[in-house]
A and B are shown apart, each in its own frame.
Chain A
Amino acid sequence: MAAPSKKAFELFVSKIPWTAAGKELKEYFGQFGAVKKCLLPFDKETGFHRGFCWVGYSSEEGLNNALQKDVHMIDGAKLQVQRNRRPFEVQKLNKDSEID
């Protein structure tokens, strides 16, 4: 748990409609497996989120289940879902979010 190098099972989700917030995303992505974290950065200036988020599963299975599904829709909008390939940024953003 404490080791930062531990493999993360993360999704990078974009094209998220403004109507969905962290709760809706967690709920939606929870159907594929236990979601350990869901990071949806909001713009403090505008009050709208930036349209992308990271979803971390606690197991590879959840991640694979989510990736296997072709189309992901939330509030009638098609999300773009892919395996997160830039974990370093997440780590940074993670830190920022805790400052919030």
Chain B
Amino acid sequence: MAALLRSARLLKFSPSGLLQITGTKRNGPPLSRLYSGTLGGTRTGVCPRNINPAAGNASSRVWPNAAGCVRKYSVVTEQKDETSVAVQSKQAQEFDWALAKLDSSVRRTGRITKSLLLRIFHDICRKGYPSGNQALLLLRSCGSLLPEVPLAERTELAHRVWEKLNELGAQYDVSHYNALLKVYIQNEFKFSPTDFLGKMEAANVQPNRVTYQRLIASYCLNGDIEGASTILGFMKTKDLPITEAVFNSLLTGHARSGDIESAKNILAVMKGAGIEPGPDTYTALLNAYAEKGDLDSLKATLVTAASDDCSLMDRDLMQVIYTLAKAGHQQHIPELTERLRQERGFVPDAMNLCLSLITQGMEDSAFHILKTFPVLQSDSLTTDSPNLGNFFLRHCVNMDTSLEKLGIYCKALQELNLHAAPLSFTLSCALEANKSGMSFALMKMMKEQDLPVRIHYFWPLLTHYMKDMDTSGVAAALKCMQELELSPDSETLTNYILAIYPSMEAARQALQDAGMSLQSEGVLSSEVRSVALKSLAELYILLSDPSFPPLDLSFFRGSLILGFRRSDDVETMVKITELLYNDERFTKGTNMPAEKVSYLLYNLIDSMSDDDVQAQEEKLRKYFNQLKAKNITISQNIFRGIRNLLDSYHVPELIKDVIVLVDPKEQGQNNPVIPVKRHVGIAAKVFALEKKLADLKAENQPISAVLRQLIHTLCAEENLQRALEVKQQHEEAMTIGSYAVLLNLCCRQDNVDEAVNLKREMSRKDSSLVLDTGKYLGLVKTLSKHGRLEEAVDILKEMKEKEVLIDDTQVTVIFHILSSLAAKGNTATIQRLQETIFTLGLAKPTTNLCSPLISAYLDSKDLSGALDAVMACHDRYKFLPRIHDIIVGLVEEGNTELLQKAMDFVSQKRGEMTMLYDLFFAFLQTGRYREARKIIETPGLRARPGRLYWYAEKCISANKMESLEQMVDLTTKLFECDRDEMYSYILRLCKETNDWKKAEVVWTKMQEENVVPRDRTLRMLADILKNNGQEVPFDIPETWYEQIDTTPKEKPATNTVTQQQTPTQVGAERQVHLLTLCKKGKVKEAFELLKDSKERGLVFSPSIYDQLIRSLLAEGFMEDAMAVKDIATSHLPTFQLSDTATSLLIVTLSKRGLTQDALEKLRSMLSEDRVPTQLSLTRLVQALGNSGNVAGIKEVETLLKNLGMNINMSSIVFVNNIALAHIKNGDMDSAVEVLEEQYTRPDSVKPSIAFVFRKVLEENNEKAIDKLSVMAERLANHFACYRPATDLFLQLLDIDKVEDAKFMLARCNAVAEQKEMLVSYMSRKAQTPGQVGKIKTLRSLIPNFTEKELLYSYLMKCHFLDKDLPSAKALYEQMQKEGIAADELSLKRLATLLRSEGETVPFTEPPESFKFYADKLKERAEKSQMMAKE
């Protein structure tokens, strides 16, 4: 954790911190060192200075696959669907989530925890069909990535993974065998290489170079030179190259066989074979001496390595430290820790070293290393206490390090001021690990050191005892408490102890056995609490016992309330309440018992949710009523509290039951107001035009139009001469358009003089004339080409003055103008133009626009000039165009002085890292690989994926395999380098050149490097092999995306690499793009994109397909939606539509009248226990009604009822549509019968059948209208049921059948009395614009259906919605005339209208928001309604 914090802080100051490095005296000018090869004395290349340690670890290269998966699913979390996406894909997502976790763990810490690994293992098993890649990933995790797990256990785990995945059908190829070998080596597992080869043979897997190398390594680890030689012989016969790794193993082998001289001699043999001993060779030699404890030779070797210009990293030295500790020579460790440079990644590496040492019982050596950890300087910035060594202490606890040692470490950490509270931290680890014995001992240790030991320290252990029902554990804990002189408080007892015993009695006994006092408040209250939760009756017996000691209600109120909430025993609740009310034993302090009980009631209601109270309404009513009977009273204050609560819970009905409890003395002081609740020939054409022109001129008529046409035609013919003559003849009739065409032709024919003349003439005619951007730029190009720079500049200035805009395509034109000048080496002209353009702001400076100037210098081989220019460019515009070409030029020229200057500059302006990359690429480009290596191995340098990608693309497009391979090779140890990505670049070039042999070499190298390839990398490799008729030696990953990654990106090779996209991001980006298109409603576009993606073989997550299906359905494109479903199913066999999508499909089918299909969908949905949306049901039922399918509607109704689904659907939807279905079938009587029944039933809620009226009215079904209106009248006249009549009246009104409405009203007077429905109609109409007429009609028919105030208010709202200011003003005047005060909401509306029309508001505009006044009005209306009711 500390490492994490540290890295975050360091990142902040890294740019400034890197500035001072170049040319320090100590190291000399770095570049001269580069050229002098081994001249320098210090260990490293360009800048032997460390960038500070930070978290992270190169081993992240192990996980490229994981990172890819994470991207793939990144969108999914965002787009969470309601329910049922295919189960398998869900598992896949979980798995990828776990993988992401693994990746993050390795990136951060260089290790994985066992539990995380196991979890992922199980996930893969559960998912079934593990891919070869997943198996590889798991296998490779069973080695040194598990420093916290003992070696034997790791191997065991590797075997379990191997067998289990094999059972599940994972295909193993040579890469898996090689991975297993690596794990064996890392875990020092003894195995028989012969048997291993036998197994491979049996499985028909051919061993490759890596296999042999690793077998040699394992023989050597056992000191078996003979065995190693046999394999070596094999390799020689197979003509396999003997790499450095083999020599390193042999070195180790000789040393382990006790022949240190032969070991040492390997270095000479290697040099003889033409292989330079690298850091790994020296590390192997150092390890050999370390095993022997030969410090002198060790030190001598370190010196030799340094003089051999071989830089050993901290990680190499740590290996040596580990060897020393293991061989029991820990006394020499300080010699090595001193040499650690604490470079980037030191902390996590050192932590892993410590963990490995502790795991193997060498905690003292681990502690020594811990003490060398860098102490945070940033500690002074925060006052956070030091906490170095948490990981150390925790792992010691987990490994059961002796208490004595733990005590010593804690003491030392505290004394060294490295950790503020090591002991309590250690205890927390022991508690977390559920180590009782260790925890108890640590607590005692703390007490001895006068550190506080508190009762809650026992809780973590107690939670475990509770889960396991471990009474002896509790007994031990109680005993320990006693020894520590602690007594369990009531919280401890109630929450963590008592529940474990079968009865209170057993609990009392256990406490007594442990020697605890039973009369303590803690024991008493816990007892009462547990009893309260168990049985209220028992509780009453306990409390009412006179011998029960005094105990304040506050000690058990929470439990009592919970007991009350759970119990149905109102009697006992009342008895207990009464007891508490009267008995002073439960009241401590000044509170009156009565008040105490009042609060109990308030707290009881407050503790319940609104659902609870609603569900328990009856019980509570009974309880309150009985309290009343017992003469229990509450204060007015408490009553208000309870009333507000009940009100907020929407159960005001209970209020009256509470109010009666109010002390009569207080009652009547104020009446409780209960508050209540949104498109001839040219010569002929020219001739004709010239003739027409002459004719017109003779007739003295305007000729401009014909002239223009003539000039255009001549220009199109490129006949500049004739065009100019024509112009000459008719100068007075020339228009701007004619001039523009001529000018353009002059520029195109490169006739600069004539162009300038034309421009001058034009301006003379009218200086305000403006040409378009293209013409101006054409002029600038011609002028600058002819060296008429000042005139070109003047044109630019004119563009600025006349505000001629330059868009993006024209910026490219500027670039071409400048570039054509660059080809002539005309630097001064370029510079002047460039500056003018930027200064005038015609175009913004960009790297591209700045580059022609540099190109001009480069083309004329003036590197110095180019450098100065690029520096000036950076000073002005912050761009470094073509810096790579300049540096390459300087490197080729060997101009160290200028190169130094360039590097200093880049370093200063862009940071050291950028400088180093520039230098690295320059060396790569020029084939100076040795120098490139020195650069990339600069300590602290980390991978910059964008820059590496940029260079890789450059190599791929230029077909520079050597340079690319070198880059990939040199970056092997580069911090945070995505190795799979790097190898994939080589494979891409292989694919382009169709070089399968190279591709095969790449695959072997990947295994050697332990890289887990991403699926797309494997597919690319498989494609290359297959295209060349080669056998693919591994399992090809299932359909995944292909083309997109193998086609080179058409990206401009600019010198600055910003954030370029790596190929793997394409899929994820499309996914996001798809979602965006869906959300923007561009569904057709999204659909096309998806089809294109399918062609490219891209597969998305199920939710993406579902989203698109839903979006298409929402727009009614059912066929397209089904096409998407087919695409999804072709990729994901288990793909299923989500509930929402299926519901939408039902809606679409219903709308198209395909009711049978819709019904079928609903049936299958319900049979899978999936829930359709209410809208889909309503639409289906309506569609069924429309088609006269009574049975269908009844089926839907039954289906829903049978499933008991909680769908908020009014039964009237079914009734209305059944009636409509009957009507459709011509069966009026049945329709009437169905509807009538709704109103004549005794329990009728008098539902609205307006929908039925509306439908028949819309269809103009006279017969039905008649029948229904007769029914409505009958209901009104005989049953005093006015709802249908009113519904009909309003529907008639709504479709503007005013006369019919009038008639209806005349027959049914009572409709005018249905004020509530009429007002509700008005308020509904007032919600949509353009409906004011309906309200007015209603008013003309029933003048007094509502109060004027309300009517005017709604009318104002209508005018506001219609933005009809005149009507609003007229209404306002009328109101004033009639003396009706406008409410604030109306005034606010009128004021807003007035202001929007730019008129002044003649009254004070209400200051608050619309909502405020709306709420205010609502409240008032409700109050008055209440009053009316009372």
Contact = CB atoms under 8 A, between A and B. Distances in A.
Interface string A37-60: 000001011111100000000000
Greatest chain B CB density within 10 A among A19, A95, A99 is at A19
B383 A78 contact: yes
B641 A2 contact: yes
Contacts, number: 80
Interface in B425-466: 428, 431-432, 452, 454-457, 459-464
A75 B424 contact: yes
A48 B462 CA distance: 11
A32 to B, nearest CB: 20
Interface in A2-26: 2-4, 17-19, 21, 23-24
B456 A21 contact: yes
Contact of A77 (B385, B495, B603, B638): B385
B51 interface: no
Chain B interface main SS type: helix
B606 interface: yes
Contacts of A97: 558
Interface string B385-397: 1000000000000
B602 A2 contact: yes
A2 B460 contact: no
Contacts of A19: 421, 424, 452, 454, 457
Contacts of B607: 95, 98-99
B460 A46 contact: yes
B462 A98 contact: no
Interface string B629-661: 000000001101110110000000000000000
A4 B460 contact: no
B637 A1 contact: yes
B561 interface: yes
Contacts of B420: 76-77
Given A3-B640, A78-B384, A46 B463 contact: yes
Contacts of B898: none
Contact of A47 (B424, B463, B606, B641): B463
A76 B421 contact: yes
B306 interface: no
A50 B461 CA distance: 16
Contacts of A3: 640-641, 644
B562 interface: yes
A75 B496 contact: no
B463 A24 contact: no
A99 B706 CA distance: 94
Nearest to A23: B454
B454 A44 contact: no
Nearest to A42: B459
Interface in A73-100: 75-78, 95, 97-100
Contacts of A95: 606-607, 609
A95 B1041 CA distance: 52
A23 B383 CA distance: 24
A21 B424 CA distance: 14
A100 B495 contact: yes
B460 A71 contact: no
Interface size class of B (residues with CB under 8 A): 35 or more
A47 B384 CA distance: 25
A48 B562 contact: no
A1 B641 contact: yes
Nearest to A78: B383
Nearest to A70: B383
B562 A17 contact: no
Contact of B603 (A21, A24, A98): A98
Interface string B550-565: 0000000010011000
B421 A17 contact: yes
A21 B641 contact: no
A45 B246 CA distance: 53
Nearest to A95: B607
B461 A48 contact: no
A18 B390 CA distance: 14
A75 B452 contact: yes
A44 B640 CA distance: 35
Contact of A75 (B421, B463, B602): B421
Contacts of B638: 2
Contact of A99 (B383, B385, B562, B644): B562
Contacts of B609: 95
Contacts of A75: 421, 424, 452
Contacts of B431: 47-48
Nearest to B495: A100
A13 to B, nearest CB: 16
A19 B426 CA distance: 12
Contacts of A100: 495, 558
Contacts of A77: 385, 420-421
B463 A78 contact: no
Given A24-B454, A95-B606, A2 B463 contact: no
A84 to B, nearest CB: 19
A48 B606 contact: no
Contacts of B495: 44, 100
A50 to B, nearest CB: 13
Nearest to A77: B385
B463 A45 contact: yes
B459 A48 contact: yes
A71 B383 contact: yes
Contact of B428 (A18, A24, A71, A98): A18
Nearest to A44: B463
A19 B385 CA distance: 15
A18 B428 CA distance: 8
Contacts of A23: 454
B1060 to A, nearest CB: 41
Q: What are the 3 closest A-B residue pairs judged by CB atoms, nearest first?
A: A2-B641, A47-B460, A47-B459
12 contacts: A3-B640, A17-B421, A18-B428, A24-B454, A46-B463, A48-B459, A48-B460, A75-B424, A95-B607, A97-B558, A98-B562, A100-B495
Given A2-B644, A18-B424, A76-B385, 15 more contacts: A1-B637, A2-B602, A2-B640, A2-B642, A19-B452, A47-B431, A47-B462, A47-B463, A48-B428, A48-B431, A75-B424, A98-B562, A98-B603, A98-B607, A100-B495
Interface of A: 1-4, 17-19, 21, 23-24, 42, 44-49, 71, 75-78, 95, 97-100
